[in-house]
Amino acid sequence: MHPALQGLVTIIIGVGGCVGYFFFSNFVLDRFLLPARAYSAEEAAVRRRSGTIFVFALPALVILALYLLYFTRNDFGLAAVFWLLIVAALIFGLWRLKDFMYGTGAVSAGHNISHANMIRPWLFLLPAIVALGLYLTYPVFETLRLSMMQRVAGGYEWVGFDNYTQMFGEAKFWEAMRNNMFWLIVVPAMSTVFGLIVAQLTDRISWGNIAKMLIFMPMAISFVGASVIWKLVYDFRPADQDQIGILNALWVGVGGEPQLWLTLPFWNNFFLMAVLIWIQTGFAMVILSAALRGIPEETVEAAIVDGAGPFAIFFKIKVPQIMPTIVVVWTTITLVVLKVFDIVYAMTNGQWGTQVLANYMYDKLFRANDWGVGSASAMIIMLLVTPILVWNVRNARKEMK
Amino acid sequence: MDNIAGTKSGLTWAVHLSVAFLVILWLFPTVGLFVSSFRTADQIASSGWWRSMFATEQNLVVRTAPPSEQVQQDGLYVLEGDLFEGLDAGDISQWGTSSRAIDAYQPGETAEIKDGRITVQADGTYRFESEEEFTGSRGQRVFATATTPPQFTTENYQNMLFNPSNREGMSKAFFSTLTVTIPSTIIPILIAAFAAYALAWMDFPGRALLIAAVVALLVVPLQLALIPLLKFHNAIGIGKGYLGVWFAHTGFGLPLAIYLLRNYMVGLPRDIIENAKVDGATDFQIFVKIILPLSFPALASFAIFQFLWTWNDLLVAMVFLVDATGETTVMTKQIVELLGTRGGNWEILATAAFISMAVPIAVFFAMQRYLVRGLLAGSVK
């Protein structure tokens, strides 16, 4: 089948499936399981019996059948005990669900409505919880497990922290760590500073919105596209030819020798960082610009009355007031930096001392096919992200209260 | 507040100038690649793109017509024609007939050479005459210094998009990218909208915990998911392919989608929802008839994010989609490959990059309002 057609079919199945699921699950809940009406004790007893069959027995049989299918294919081991526990939990849950829905004795309409409303959120949430659990939560634990395993012929072998020790012994890993630290310091700082400058400067001029739009535009460009753009900027020609890269042209213009910027040890990292700064400044600018507009005018007016100059107003009145937003921008860009892969992959592929963690991990996973060390380096990225994760969650909870 | 007493107007000029400088600095790299994509390989290799905007002086080596085309006029053998036949080279400022003196003559002057007299005009027409018959098979060489006006071509785009024999063409990859992008944008919106409604407007135990989990998952690097999910996809038999990449993008996009949509839905007026409930509407009806239409701006914001992100993505496509046959390669992957194999061919690279950038940039300019709104709502406060 042609992929475009396949895509269309997937959209229809996907969208139709989602809508259908939400519609029918709600329909079944409201019409059959917990209709908004009262039942006498006799009616309720009949419903409980059919409920035992449809809500408990049939699903339980399906789960058991699936489990047995799994069980006959695999040897009995630690994993089987794990699955057995899960099956037991699911069947227990179904039993409780059945009891929860049908109660005992006569049932009032209010009981049915309130119980339906306790179940409904989970119907709404189920697809999202399954997707998030399977595609983001499970991988975290699986990667942790894989980072302590090694692939051997026909399976895996538990090796404890060997992968980590091996990784810590590699010079390329420490190079990636060192470069990542530079990225973490330079990119968020420069993007935020540039973003703040542009936000402040464009705030008071007539064509500020156009200027902002143009500086914001790189956000729409892929990291790969940006890499091509900047590779042309850094292009190198021997000294006797016309330079076609603007950086070398300027450099030669002020009397320098043309340079292969991307192979220049140490400094090449900063030429790669420039690409991300170029992209992220727009993001910082948009957020900070909104924050600057949100500053109460009275504070600025009071400062003007007290005779503060424009710089004093900016640094002493405005910046302190938008500090929380600056921190948000900073951490968001930090997250982008920790995951930066495409730029390094496309421009230098980690050669000439420009390796970063994400690209190191890709190298290990898909070039060296070393899933153990690859997973270990992914865990390092996770470890670096964790403080921000905790901080974000705490802030979100604080805000909700 | 500009005109409040005490503000220095002298600074205004500095502000205008520095903003202009920053804008130019930010645009310059992109414009460079854009201009390059409209130049021929020779032009790109011989001069910087910033020169292509202005007329340039070029030294050309051209030939007169071969002796076989000579005619006899008044007892003279004559060759006439245009030196730049087929070329659009502009005006000649100087010319010569020897490589050692390429600037010997001005246009309109006549040079006496071994074979006869040659006159070259500024527009490239010449007259070469001699009392004796011209011999040989090739015409006389002429060295001309010409001022060439800016020249651009759309040949690169034709070659990269519409040339079916070009195996590096982008049309196939363009459709792959499109095929990846559209389902990966639509499906998570739907799943997230329902979840966001539950998290915003339904009361149930564990709601706060789930919201915290969504915020936490917002920052989990997708790098962690690569191997476990590849294993999972292989185990359930979908392996590498569109289905896998759609699932992956859906999963990775969900936290942001739920977070954005929930934040937006929480802000909707409580009265509307409660009135509808009093009137007997079910949650499903409220969601479909009230919440979804009212949430359009948030839905649009997320759709743009997810579209840009899936269109521009390289890593997820490389891991979950592109297999060894390369049949399903996406544009970003193809550009990376071209960077490896055609590192110096800027006409190919620039064109390929711009083909992949055109759609996101168009979406960006068309829907910028929603993008900004989404950014403001999406950064965790």
Mean pLDDT by 10 residues, chain A (401 residues): 70 82 84 77 79 81 82 66 83 82 75 81 88 89 84 73 82 88 91 90 83 87 90 82 79 80 83 91 88 85 84 85 87 86 85 86 84 87 89 82 70
Instruction: Please check whether residues B109 and B233 belong to one and the same domain.
Output: no
Report pLDDT for A277.
92
Instruction: Please check whether residues B342 and B225 belong to one and the same domain.
Output: yes
The Cβ of residue B380 has, within 10 Å, a number of other Cβ atoms equal to 19
The closest of A341, A136, A381 to B315, measured between CA atoms, is A341
Instruction: Please check whether residues B121 and B191 belong to one and the same domain.
Output: no
Q: Note whether B91 and B146 are within 8 A (CB).
A: yes
Mean pLDDT of B242-269: 88
Mean pLDDT of B42-70: 75
Give CA–CA dist B58/B38, Å, rounded. 19
Instruction: Please check whether residues B235 and B248 belong to one and the same domain.
Output: yes
Give CA–CA dist B226/B221, Å, rounded. 10
User: Do B328 and A3 make contact, defined as CB atoms within 8 angstroms?
Assistant: yes
Q: Does B204 touch chain A (CB under 8 A)?
A: yes
Count structural domains, chain B: 3
pLDDT at B6 exceeding the cut of 70? no
Instruction: Please check whether residues B199 and B69 belong to one and the same domain.
Output: no
pLDDT band at B8 (very low <50, low <70, confident <90, very high): low
Q: Note whether B321 and B249 are within 8 A (CB).
A: no
Instruction: Please check whether residues B174 and B318 belong to one and the same domain.
Output: yes
Selecting from B27, B229, B287 the residue whose C-beta is nearest the C-beta of A135 gives B229
Q: How far is B64 from chain A (nearest CA, A)?
A: 29
Report pLDDT for B4.
47
Mean pLDDT of B92-104: 77
User: Do A283 and B23 make contact, defined as CB atoms within 8 angstroms?
Assistant: no
Instruction: Please check whether residues B69 and B32 belong to one and the same domain.
Output: no
User: Is B8 inside any structural domain?
Assistant: no
Instruction: Please check whether residues B92 and B70 belong to one and the same domain.
Output: yes
Domains and CATH numbers, chain A: 3-135 (no CATH), 165-400 (1.10.3720.10)
User: Is B12 inside any structural domain?
Assistant: no
Report pLDDT for B123.
77
Q: Which domain holds residue B141?
A: 56-148
User: Is B227 inside any structural domain?
Assistant: yes
Instruction: Please check whether residues B94 and B65 belong to one and the same domain.
Output: yes
Instruction: Please check whether residues B163 and B299 belong to one and the same domain.
Output: yes
| CATH code of B212's domain | 1.10.3720.10
pLDDT at B139 exceeding the cut of 80? no
The closest of A133, A332, A142, A401 to B214, measured between CA atoms, is A133
The helix or strand, by DSSP H or E, that contains position B81, with its residue range, turns out to be strand B76-82
Report pLDDT for B89.
60
User: Is B20 inside any structural domain?
Assistant: no
B178 vs B83, which has greater pLDDT? B178
Q: Among B148, B180, B195, give the residue marking a domain's end.
A: B148
Q: Note whether A333 and A154 are within 8 A (CB).
A: no
Q: Does A36 touch chain B (CB under 8 A)?
A: no
User: Is B4 inside any structural domain?
Assistant: no
Q: Which residues of B touch A140 (CB under 8 A)?
A: 220, 224
The Cβ of residue A315 has, within 10 Å, a number of other Cβ atoms equal to 11
Q: Note whether B337 and B180 are within 8 A (CB).
A: no
User: Is B49 inside any structural domain?
Assistant: yes
Q: Does B234 touch chain A (CB under 8 A)?
A: no
**Inter-CA distances, B147 with B41, B54, B101, Å:** 19, 10, 18
B245 vs A15, which has greater pLDDT? B245
Q: Does B276 touch chain A (CB under 8 A)?
A: no
Instruction: Please check whether residues B227 and B255 belong to one and the same domain.
Output: yes
Mean pLDDT of B285-293: 86
B326 vs A88, which has greater pLDDT? A88
Q: Note whether A376 and A360 are within 8 A (CB).
A: no
The ipTM (two decimal places) reads: 0.83
CA atoms within 13 A on the CB side of A389: 15
Q: Among B114, B148, B182, give the residue marking a domain's end.
A: B148
Phi and psi at residue B110, to the nearest 5°: -115, 135
User: Is B198 inside any structural domain?
Assistant: yes
Optimal mutation site among B194, B202, B249, B302, interface A, most CBs of chain A within 10 A: B194
Report pLDDT for A190.
92
The full DSSP string for B140-196 is PEEEEEEEEPP---SHHHHHHHH-TT-TT-SHHHHHHHHHHHHHHHHHHHHHHHHHH
Q: Does B372 touch chain A (CB under 8 A)?
A: yes
Chain B residue with the nearest C-alpha to that of A339: B221
Optimal mutation site among A209, A222, A394, interface B, most CBs of chain B within 10 A: A222
Q: Among B53, B71, B97, give the residue marking a domain's end.
A: B53
User: Is B3 inside any structural domain?
Assistant: no
Instruction: Please check whether residues B367 and B284 belong to one and the same domain.
Output: yes
The CA-CA-CA angle for residues A74, A78, A79, to 5°, reads: 50
